[in-house]
Amino acid sequence: MNNKIKDHYILIFSILLAALPIFSEWAIVYLDEIYSVLAAILQFLIMYYIWISYKKTKIEYKALFIYLWFAFFGAFLCDFIYFFVVNLAQESRISGFWTSLYCLPHLLSLIYFALFWIIYTIKCVRIKQKYLIFSIFLLLDLLFLRVFVYDSSWAIKINTYLGIFQIITGFIDILIFNVIILCLISSNNKIFDLLAIGCMLYLIYNIWLKYLFINYNISAFQYGEYLEIMSLLIILNASYKMSQERINLNSCSNAVGSIKVQLTLFVYFMFIFSFCILLFLAKNLSIINTHSLTSFPVLIMLYSCVMVEVANIIGKKFEEPFKILTTNTKELIKKDDFKNIGNYNYGISEFNQLQKFIINQLKINDQNVKSQKNLNQRVMKSIHDIRSPLTIIDHLLNNVEVSLKESDIIKFKKQLMFIRNVANSLLDYNRYIVNNTSSEASYHVLISSLNLLVDNKILEWGVDIISLEVPKNIIWLRYLESEFQNTMSNLLNNAYEAFIDKNKGQIRISVSIEPKQIKIVVSDNGRGIPANEIENIKKGKSLKINGNGIGMPSAIEFFHSLGGTFTIESTELIGTDIILTLPYNDNPSWSIDTINISTCEIIVVDNDSAILEFWQKKILPKTNNFKFFTNSSLFFEWSQQKTNLTNCLVLMDYELGENQVHGLDALIKANIPNAVVITDYAEYAWLQNQISKTKYYLLPKSALNLINII
């Protein structure tokens, strides 16, 4: 049988078992025995479901369920012992002293009840100034006790240990009762509400019996037992539902400052204070006689129990529109479904007006976002269009250097580098704004990074004193480009500032490929570093007058973070060598440094005429088996007509202009087997991640001059 169905049968059986004898004639003759047995049965079932909840709950809340289990275990022992001891005492088989044995498990039950509710309040109840509110509850209790106990003529007998026990445990009951009210005010879970109400009624039953015992009045004893059975049935229902739904105790309380909690608290206090005012007026005007109303304190507790739940219902009722408004607003932001979601009627004009205002603001914001997105797309296209001719100009400049003056070449390179830096910065910023992607480490072409570094330094210093010696290989290394540029820039600045005569200084950057590593040496012919100061400089000491010593430790930390090494070799008045190594096993699987065009048909897809001219000059002298397309539509038409694509190599740009699919998507859609994506985005992590999931290669446009075509 399904466990859930079995639990239903157990619950129904226990309710019938508890309810049917109440209406039978046995209830008259064997009232105490029937109620004791029924209470014990219900408590046993409650313990069973609490144990199931204990096994399902998170580990940080298991202790709370243990406390609750022991609370009902104590109550179970109390009723069980009371049933047998009272019967034996009535038959004079034991002395009256033994009838008080039930007090021990009752005390155990109260202690664990207190532990459960107090710890839950501390951990989970999120009400501002909850301890102050609890103190106000206690003050109200003292006022009621002043009216109905101190000023009464009850025959209270506290000269026995049993009377003292009833007084002390009665105060504990009241303390727990106030804690539960605080929990119920902050509750947002119906099952937890049920548990709290059931426990409140059970505590009221305890207090009711203690009043009767203290006053030696058992004429109304059966009403207390009715209350016990009713409270246990409610707790059984709550514990059963908790075991089925795997309730999370931490989520049963509203957030701090929620409108539901504040409104519930306000309404409850209004109920209680208005009741207190009416009560004291009635007492002072002699409308009620506190001496004759021995059950009035219990009625007040029942009134509190009802009023806190009424306040809870009112709080939830007024909280509901806020929840719906919040949900609708989230859906509006997510779906832009202004028509369907925006017509909801809350039945409260202020909420309808607020919804209308939010929708209008979202529409305005949506229009602004679309306008900004269109502007960003146009900016990206313009920047992309700028970067492509820069690559060609840079390539052409290498061919015409011999016919230009050196000063003109430097000026030309400065302006070219300036435009490239502006374009790179704008592209990075636009990428961050549009896609909300932050910088992360990715693979970069080392030679391109070093060329960019050298060009920046020449532009910054105004003198060309840096020589770069690098292999012709395309070397991919993984690092954060901005950190690499900053670190290397600081090292070059240190070398430049060490020159006495800036025009006579020389800086050389050499790169070599060694087994499992790349070696970079930055050499200068400056004043050098004293041998006894090298270790101090590594730790942050600066030999410059206004230096702060931050650059060198940062550089060491950067290269160590990449798994490399950092070494300084220096001779005074001769110069300094900074030797850097970075781990290097092989290029990523999507890298390419050689394109073989002799045995395949070459297809170039790019909307930039300058790039097409570049490929024509590179490819046509070696083969006529060459086609080019300027947009994805023409490329798709060709690919559909082509029966065999295995002998084709597609050189695809990533950005093909507005209203065009991206190059990578076009290759996948056309099911091209062999392709190289050539783009300025090649050194971005997001594109490298996409390429790594395909069979294609990736090449930055800045490395076109390094590619070997055979």
Neighbours of 423 (CB within 10 A): 18
* CB 72 within 8 Å of CB 47: yes
**Nearest C-alpha neighbor of 41 from the set 7, 17, 5:** 17
Is residue 438 scored above 90 in pLDDT?
no
Structure tokens at 445: 């072409």
When pLDDT is cut at 50, 70 and 90, the band that residue 1 belongs to is: very low
Of the chain, the percentage scoring pLDDT greater than 70 comes to 67
197 vs 16: CA distance, rounded Å: 21
Is residue 392 scored above 80 in pLDDT?
no
- Per-residue b or e along 511-536, where b marks 16 or more CB atoms closer than 10 Å to that residue's CB: beeeeebbbbbbbbbbbbbeeeeeee
Which is more confident, 63 or 377?
63
User: Of all residues in the chain, what percent are helix, strand and coil, respectively (each to 5)?
Assistant: 65, 10, 25
Which is more confident, 206 or 328?
206
Contacts of residue 690, defined as CB under 8 A and 6 or more positions apart, other chains included, come to 664
- Give me the pLDDT at residue 23, please: 44
Mean pLDDT of the 393-411 span: 57
Question: Yes or no: is domain 439-583 CATH 3.30.565.10?
Answer: yes
Element (H, E) at 583: strand 575-583
Is residue 7 scored above 50 in pLDDT?
no
Structure tokens at 642: 């082509």
Which is more confident, 353 or 192?
192
Is residue 547 scored above 60 in pLDDT?
no
Mean pLDDT of the 644-657 span: 86
Is residue 248 scored above 90 in pLDDT?
no
The three-class DSSP label of residue 546 is: coil
* CB 229 within 8 Å of CB 262: no
243 vs 69: CA distance, rounded Å: 13
Give domain 594-709's CATH number out of 3.50.50.100, 3.40.50.1010, 3.40.50.2300, 3.40.50.300: 3.40.50.2300
**Nearest C-alpha neighbor of 537 from the set 547, 524, 528, 549:** 549
- Contacts within 8 Å (CB) and 24+ apart, 662-667: 663/605, 663/632, 664/690, 664/691, 664/694, 664/696, 666/605, 666/632, 666/635, 666/636, 667/694, 667/696
314 vs 264: CA distance, rounded Å: 7
- Give me the pLDDT at residue 407, please: 54
Q: Report the greatest alpha carbon distance in the chain.
A: 129
- Give me the pLDDT at residue 183, please: 84
Angle at 64 between CA 63 and CA 68, to 5 degrees: 115
* CB 290 within 8 Å of CB 152: yes
When pLDDT is cut at 50, 70 and 90, the band that residue 20 belongs to is: very low
Which is more confident, 134 or 627?
627
240 vs 247: CA distance, rounded Å: 11
Structure tokens at 285: 């005007």
* CB 185 within 8 Å of CB 316: no
- Per-residue b or e along 557-593, where b marks 16 or more CB atoms closer than 10 Å to that residue's CB: ebbeebebebebebeeeebbebebbbebeebeebbbb
Is residue 80 scored above 80 in pLDDT?
no
- Burial group, residue 652, by CB count within 10 angstroms (0-12, 13-18, 19+): buried
Phi, psi of 604 (to 5 degrees): -105, 125
Model confidence pLDDT, tens digit, residues 110-145: 899 899 988 888 888 877 777 787 888 777 777 766
Instruction: Put the strands of the sheet holding 466-469 in their side by side order.
Output: 466-469, 507-514, 517-524, 575-583, 565-571
Its pTM stands at 0.47
Is residue 249 scored above 60 in pLDDT?
yes
Q: Average per-residue pLDDT in the chain?
A: 75
Mean pLDDT of the 175-186 span: 84
- Give me the pLDDT at residue 494, please: 84
Element (H, E) at 562: none
Mean pLDDT of the 562-570 span: 91
